[in-house]
Each structure stands twice: as C-alpha cells, then as structure tokens.
Amino acid sequence: MARFRRARERNDRTALKNRSCEQIVRALESNFRLSDYLELRERFPEADSPFWFVMSTDTFNMPSSFDYMFLLKPELDKFGINHAAFRGALDGQSPDMDEFCLGILRAIDHRESINKNRTHAVSSGLAISDAFINFLACLLTELLAYYDLSPFHSFQVLLKTHLKLFDNHYRLAKFEKDRKLLVASLFAENPDISLRTVAKWANLNQGTLSRWMNDEDFTHSIRSLRDSPLKKKTTHVKLEDLGFEID
C-alpha cells in the first residue's frame, strides 16, 4: 500500500511539472499560490497576465470592482475617507486617487494620535485597521496598473509610512554613515572646533559624538580626510559655509 501511495505521489509531482501555461494560469485564478506564480514565470517568462488582480473577480475587467464602492462605503465613512474620491479613483481620475490616498493617510494619522490614549482603538472600531489599510493600498496599486498611471507622491508616502520605511534599519544605517562622513569632514577641515559646535550643527547628542570620537574607525577617517592628497578635490565642510564660529 505504501509503495502504491509513493508511486501515486511521484505521478502527481510529474503531472504538476508538466502542466501547460493555461493550466497554471487557471490554477492561479482559482487559488493564487506564490509557488505556482513563480513556476509560471520560470517556465513561461512571457506569460504574465492580470490574474493577480485582487479587486476584480473578472481578471480582464477592472471596473467590475465598482461593487466595492457600495461594499466599502460604511467603513470609508466611518474613518472619514472621502467616498466621492473613492468613486473617482475607481474611474481612473488621478486627482481623486490622490485625495483618496490622502484620506487614508489622515485616518492613519488619526489612529496614531488616539493610540496614545486608547491602546485598543483599532479593536474597538475607533481607528482604521492594518487589514483595511492593506486592502485599500492594494486597490490603489491595481488601479494605477489598470489605468497605466505613475505612482503619485501621496501613494508613495502611504506605502513608505505603512511599511515603516522612514524608520527602516537600512535607511537609518545609510543616514548615519553619511552623517558620520560629514562630521569627520568637519573635524578634518577645522581641527580646533569644539564637540559642542559639531553636535549642534549635526543635530547630535553630545554623548553620541563623544562615543564616535572614541571609535578608532571614526578617528581614522578624520585623519585620512585631513591627510588625503586629494583633499582639495573632495567636498569638505567649512565653518564659514555653516555660519558657525570656533568656540
């Protein structure tokens, strides 16, 4: 019995591997699975299609998502998101898409403000949930794709805010690296400058700057900048350009 079961499983795997492009697309349309999508793109690189639209039950007719205009109205009204802008967004109107996106951002901002005093604001229905934000962001993404529009600024802010990219580790690490280089350049150009002046200019805590000064890599970068034969060809920070005076 076990031998027959293993043989059947092998046959099933073989059948899956031999699926046609149409069979994979039909499987994705009925139940989207990432492994199926990756198989489609690997085996049939040119066979991408709109089946990945979430908002529409008809993969080639985005306007069928107008059903959501009525389905989502109570929740949009509840969180103060302009329903008229939502209707215009579904019709591909860029100004309405922008206003709709701004409405979502206002709802997120409201959530952040009331969360300071109400720890269960979302579960109590007083603030917009991540699940609803995710769905609306997906809606906007698909509308932009369907109407062949470029992402507008408020949409990018929505994604970056919701995904917490402004506080992302990689972005912050790059920012600190750049700021360290500028501070090292300031020390290299102005050897007599005080820690207090540099901390004020760089908007740094003086304790943080003191730790940097005890870091061998940081002090080495100062010496390298000061002694570099290419010094005149590189960008350095000078006090007269900043409006500071040496203490």
**Contact criterion met (CB below 8 Å) for 166 and 160:** yes
Where do the structural domains in the chain lie, given as residue ranges?
Answer: 20-52, 62-166, 169-242
**Mean pLDDT for back-to-back runs of 10 residues, the chain (247 residues):** 56 65 87 90 82 57 68 94 94 95 97 88 93 94 90 96 91 89 90 88 89 91 80 51 49
Determine the Cα–Cα distance for residues 158 and 161; give it in Å rounded to an integer.
Answer: 5
| Axis-axis angle for helices 153-162, 94-114 (nearest 10) | 30
Q: 40-78, pLDDT tens digit by residue?
A: 999 999 887 665 666 655 544 554 567 788 889 999 999
Measured over all CA atoms, what is the biggest interatomic distance in the chain, rounded to whole angstroms? 88
Q: What is the DSSP letter of 148?
A: T
State the sign of the Cα–Cα–Cα–Cα dihedral 34, 35, 38, 39. negative
Task: Look at residue 226 in the predicted model and tell me its pLDDT.
Answer: 86
Inter-residue contact 104 to 81 (CB < 8 Å): yes
Confidence at residue 233, expressed as pLDDT on a 0 to 100 scale: 46
Distance CA 162, CA 208 (A): 29
Tokens 């993404």 belong to 141
Q: Please report the pLDDT score of residue 156 as a whole number.
A: 96
Residue-level pLDDT at 26? 86
